[in-house]
Structure 1
């Protein structure tokens, strides 16, 4: 037996004579070894411990351990899979799946390892020369199967018009990559990747979608961002009618611009009325002062919030009718001397938290008619607070006030009061509804009929356009006067109005 030891960097290679080697593929002739040593090919610091005879054979023995790789490496997963272990030379691979350190008594790797749950895989290998690799660790963590695609939202939202350039922010509801286009084409994973707010300076069709870490894809979202800086056309034929000491109706022909959303009425720089939509052809202005000159301007507003230049009209309210000279005017917001049956009024801030109000009317009716309905919504079927004043059918001649509302704990408050008397349908009756800091009260001909205390816990939501329905849809109601005050009238003031209006 003859042996040669050489060193290649930190690798130690021992070569020895072994004519009966069981591994002829790893057996080299002494001539080859000699040539390698002489040429010093890939060898350094070669040391010959014993001479050998040319022609004798040697076997390469190495102390370099095998290298083992796992595919795939440790990761999170939602579906079962297998792990393949591979050594870079012939070797036996030992492994465990319970986190314990593997030994030569552990299972021997022979085929891909199925992974169905969270596993800590540890493994090492021993080659044919007996060199053992270090123990390696891979952790595979099972997560809940994710099949839900991400949702992406934009800020500001799309399919709207804007009167200035916009910066659009896209946000996914989970970790995801967002891809987008600005030319109207459908985005793919080769499209631009969203990394920050997108500037939009002209009308643009923005399309985008997202892919989450599980590979789920959202639908493609498509939104237009319309940049419109052109003002809409003005209304035409602005005029006024129904002029009283405290109110007026402005009328006009609608704007020719199709993107108008509504019209606003200005007194100076203050908005005093707003229509519901672009088709409105009038607006009632209330709360005016008798014998006062006003200039009102009607301006159209479009989808991009551009205002038209505006059409203006000037008018002077008349003095209060001599017959109403004794009427209380402090807090008077609305005065209709001859309101129409089944008409609607929209006093601004009619319901405003717990603020008081007073409604007075001089009225007569057929039996079974509603005098007044107050709703805290623009539509009756959406109301959560309502007050109804009506007169019941025969045979009992009754005045009924029904109050429905909710307190701050959303508990329903319902109050119904009946006033029974032998009342004729011919004369007018003076009806007053007062809401003060502690109760809502009904007065008939200056006499208290019903009072419902509710205290400060009673809640009426502040809404911009509450609905005041005057009169009855089916039966006739005749009014001489209807007045609205933004405060609760005192006992003396109610008596003064009663004398004046009758």
Structure 2
């Protein structure tokens, strides 16, 4: 490797200004937790440290035990493991130094979470004489936990790109609500449906004067 550095002379013929240090040291990456046996799903964080070097540029990882590369998944946020998994990871700094891949094995000693969550609407389907506030509640039992609930109000099939439920929904007109939830390890619930009929119009009653014959009544 050929290293070049430019000397900068201070004004007035002073001593040359030394060039900035060249970063030849790769960063280090730590997994938290560092692996081990777990009875429930575990959230894993990868943290890169480049010391006083050029700074961490990216961290890559795999979940199948294979060697990670720049084409592997780039770490951006903590991820959840719901089954026994070998995580391999490494980081590269801004100067292009890459560390050797690290490994952390997470063993789920209990049953893996393969069951989707269950979501209920309250109130359920029905006919109402005034607008209603509808709450969606997700329950994942002993699984990894609910990650999100998605819904539509036009009767179309919701997807994970549909609106995410964050607060009770105001139903002011007849509406078909469709919804589902997904848990933290990716198990997806089948789409559920609730139909709300909202009729805010009072019934019309026609009064007939006493002694008057109703239309069509025989004499």
TM-score w.r.t. structure 2 length?
A: 0.55
Alignment of 1:196 with 2:163, yes or no, is no
Displacement of 1:191: 1.1
User: Does 2:115 correspond to 1:148?
Assistant: yes
Count the aligned residue pairs: 149
SS in structure 2 of the partner of residue 195 of structure 1:
coil
User: How far apart, in 1, do the equivalents of 2:21 and 2:135 lie?
Assistant: 65
Bigger proportion of residues as helix: 1
Q: Structure 1 residues 151 and 39, CA, compared in 2 at 3 Å: closer, same or farther?
A: farther
Change (3 A) 1:231 1:67: same
Distance 1:68 1:200 in 2: 53
Match in the other structure for 2:191: 220
Counterparts of residues 28-107 of structure 1 (less than 5 Å): 28=4, 33=5, 36-38=6-8, 46=17, 62=22, 65-69=25-29, 71-72=60-61, 76-79=80-83, 80-88=85-93
Distance in 2 (CA, whole Å) between partners of 1:204 and 1:39 is 77
- Mapped to 2, the partners of 1:231 and 1:27 lie a distance apart of 87
Deviations 1:229-251 (A, max 9, x none): 456799xxxxxxxxxxxxxxxxx
- Considering fraction of residues, name the structure with more strand: 1
Query: SS at 2:177's partner residue?
Result: strand
CA distance in 1, matches of 2:122, 2:113: 26
What do residues 101-128 of structure 1 show as CA deviations (whole Å, max 9, x unaligned)?
xxxxxxxx5x66362428xxxxxxxxxx
Distance verdict in 2 for CA 1:47–1:231, change over 3 Å:
closer
**Distance of aligned partners of 1:197 and 1:45 in 2 relative to their CA distance in 1, 3 Å threshold:** farther
- Which structure has the larger Rg over C-alpha atoms? 1
- Cα distance in 2 for partners of 1:203, 1:66 equals 61
For residues 187-212 of structure 1, what are the alpha-carbon distances to aligned partners after superposition, in whole Å with 9 as ceiling and x for unaligned?
A: 11111111111111111111111111
Structure 1: segments with no counterpart, 5+ residues? 1-24, 49-59, 94-108, 119-141, 235-502
Q: Per the alignment, do residues 231 and 87 of structure 1 end up closer, same or farther by CA in structure 2, a change over 3 Å counting?
A: closer
SS at match of 2:176: strand
| Aligned residues of 2:150 and 2:163 also touching (Cα < 8 A) | yes
Shift in Å at residue 213 of structure 1?
A: 0.9
* Secondary structure of the structure 1 residue equivalent to 2:90: strand
**Which of residues 129, 133, 140 is equivalent to 1:167?**
133
Separation in structure 1 between the aligned mates of residue 110 and residue 28 of structure 2, nearest angstrom: 27
TM value normalised by structure 1: 0.26
- Distance in 2 (alpha carbons) for counterparts of 1:191 and 1:172: 16
Quote the offset at 1:39 in angstroms. Answer: 7.4
Give runs of aligned pairs for residues 269-288 of structure 1, distance below 5 A: none
The question of whether the paired residues in 1 share the 8 Å contact of 2:121 and 2:194 is answered with: no
Task: Answer 1 or 2: higher relative contact order, Cα 8 Å, separation at least 6.
Answer: 2
Q: CA deviation at 1:38?
A: 3.6
- Which position in structure 1 is the counterpart of 2:107? 117
Note the residue ranges of structure 2 that are not aligned, 5 or more in a row. 30-45, 47-59, 62-74, 141-145, 206-219
Q: What are the residue-to-residue correspondences of 1:293-312 with 2, within 5 Å?
A: none
TM-superposition CA deviations, 1:34-67 (whole Å, max 9, x none): xx21478xxx97159xxxxxxxxxxx97577431
